[in-house]
């Protein structure tokens, strides 16, 4: 089975950003480097019928949230009107949400968030252009079709909602699909909470698993570099369409292992190599000769990756796995799934504010030497210092 098998699927990394896992992703919008994770894991505990409730918010904090343009049901500080050491130590969406709610009117916080909004929107456009270019190259090579019929995409407004509530809306829309296994597509601008939402969905859906394309690009790159060394050829020659087709034919996604212990994996076999990705993702696929060539390879193999991933996603869903795929519209449009969602904001400035909350929280946590027992004065001082430094 090669890259041409199956229907088109998602291939998130942009040219020059091959580590973007589509997934996933780190702080939303950043490039991921999780690699291909084990693709079959135990079903998550709990029922889909369980109510998804947002944490309680003190009245004074809740009242301030809408004015700041943020979720009114966001997690509140442990001490009303304050971000205490216990909350700061969580270093999650609760922490960043509390900071952006409490400091939304602070001139330093506003300056940081405005800068970050501009940077994120600019990066989104650049990444989108790169992805579009990669897809167009695949179309020009007749690897992908020029036109695709994209299934209806359900828009989920995240403003005024917690991550739990957003995940709850998506689960409700899925109906009974999770009981059988499905491919869930999630798209949206950087900062809309795709990564956080995927994490929540993985907690709440049975037998859910995220998908990452990073190791598919690494595998193709390994084969290209190996062929170059054996044949004394250039990268340009290795990336010729006919050679890429040969390399992709050396990759297979399936269940491997001893009887009764089979697990999904990618097998690399050809040019004298035989590896299983889960066994070499932190060694062979991390070799410098692979790493330095990934951006170049990713730029011209978007289509090949899309086709390979299609077969993998189909097999996983057929096995009862709920596969969570998040990324950019340009490539997600080539995945065939009726379960498509897009996270949207009423005000895009929220993107920068959320990222500002995340960055301020991270620096402040370092400022108290990562001590969950730091007193309130120390926490307040650390947050102020973090904002002062980030606002420069």
> Are residues 159 and 350 in contact, defined by beta-carbon separation less than 8 angstroms?
yes
pLDDT of residue 242: 93
> Are residues 358 and 112 in contact, defined by beta-carbon separation less than 8 angstroms?
no
Among residues of the chain, what percentage have pLDDT more than 90? 61
Q: Is the pLDDT of residue 77 over 60?
A: no
What pTM does this model have? 0.67
Place 22 in a pLDDT band, splitting at 50, 70 and 90: very low
**Spatial distance between the Cα atoms of 304 and 385, rounded to a whole number of angstroms:** 48
What is the torsion angle, in degrees rounded to the nearest 10, for the CA atoms of residue 31, residue 36, residue 40 and residue 42? Answer: -50
Instruction: Kindly calculate the radius of gyration of the chain based on its CA atoms and give it in whole angstroms.
Output: 22
**Spatial distance between the Cα atoms of 169 and 165, rounded to a whole number of angstroms:** 6
Place 370 in a pLDDT band, splitting at 50, 70 and 90: very high
Place 105 in a pLDDT band, splitting at 50, 70 and 90: very high
What is the b/e burial string over 111-145, where b = at least 16 CB atoms within 10 angstroms of the residue's CB? ebbeebbeebbeebeebeebbbbbbebbeeeebbe
| Alpha carbon 163 to its chain's center | 15
Mean residue pLDDT of the chain comes to 81
Q: Is the pLDDT of residue 33 over 50?
A: no
| Alpha carbon 193 to its chain's center | 10
Detail the DSSP E strand segments found in the chain. Answer: 154-157, 183-188, 208-210, 251-256, 263-270, 273-276, 322-327, 339-344
Instruction: Determine how many CB atoms are found less than 10 A away from the CB of residue 271.
Output: 18
Q: Is the pLDDT of residue 73 over 50?
A: no
Range 104-133 average pLDDT: 91
Q: Is the pLDDT of residue 3 over 80?
A: no
Q: Is the pLDDT of residue 25 over 60?
A: no
């Amino acid at each position: 089975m090669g890259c041409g098998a199956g229907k088109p699927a998602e291939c998130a990394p942009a040219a020059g950003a091959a580590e973007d896992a589509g997934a996933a992703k780190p702080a939303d919008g950043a490039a991921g480097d999780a690699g291909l994770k084990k693709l079959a894991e135990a079903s998550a505990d709990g029922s889909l019928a369980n109510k998804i409730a947002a944490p309680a918010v003190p009245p004074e904090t809740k009242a301030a949230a809408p004015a700041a343009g943020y979720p009114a049901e966001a997690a509140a500080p442990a001490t009303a009107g304050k971000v205490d050491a216990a909350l700061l130590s969580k270093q999650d969406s609760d922490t960043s949400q509390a900071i952006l709610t409490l400091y939304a009117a602070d001139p330093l916080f506003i300056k940081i968030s405005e800068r970050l909004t501009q940077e994120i929107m600019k990066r989104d456009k650049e990444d989108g252009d790169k992805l579009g270019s990669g897809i167009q190259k695949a179309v020009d090579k007749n690897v992908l079709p020029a036109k695709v019929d994209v299934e209806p995409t359900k828009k989920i407004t995240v403003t005024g909602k917690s991550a739990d509530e957003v995940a709850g809306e998506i689960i409700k829309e899925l109906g009974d699909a999770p009981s059988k296994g499905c491919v869930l597509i999630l798209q949206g601008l950087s900062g809309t909470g795709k990564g956080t939402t995927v994490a929540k969905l993985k907690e709440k859906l049975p037998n859910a698993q995220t998908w990452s394309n990073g190791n598919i690009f690494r595998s193709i790159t390994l084969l290209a570099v190996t062929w170059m060394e054996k044949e004394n050829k250039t990268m340009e020659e290795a990336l010729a369409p006919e050679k890429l087709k040969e390399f992709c034919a050396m990759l297979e996604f399936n269940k491997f292992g001893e009887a009764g212990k089979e697990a999904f994996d990618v097998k690399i076999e050809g040019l004298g190599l035989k590896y299983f990705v889960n066994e070499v993702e932190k060694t062979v696929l991390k070799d410098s000769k692979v790493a330095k060539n990934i951006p170049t390879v990713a730029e011209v193999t978007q289509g090949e990756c899309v086709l390979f991933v299609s077969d993998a996603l189909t097999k996983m869903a057929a096995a009862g796995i709920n596969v969570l795929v998040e990324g950019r519209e340009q490539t997600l449009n080539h995945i065939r799934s009726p379960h498509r969602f897009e996270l949207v904001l009423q005000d895009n400035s929220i993107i920068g504010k959320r990222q500002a909350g995340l960055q301020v929280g991270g620096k402040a946590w370092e400022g108290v030497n990562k001590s969950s027992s730091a007193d309130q004065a120390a926490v307040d001082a650390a947050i102020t210092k973090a904002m002062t430094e980030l606002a420069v």
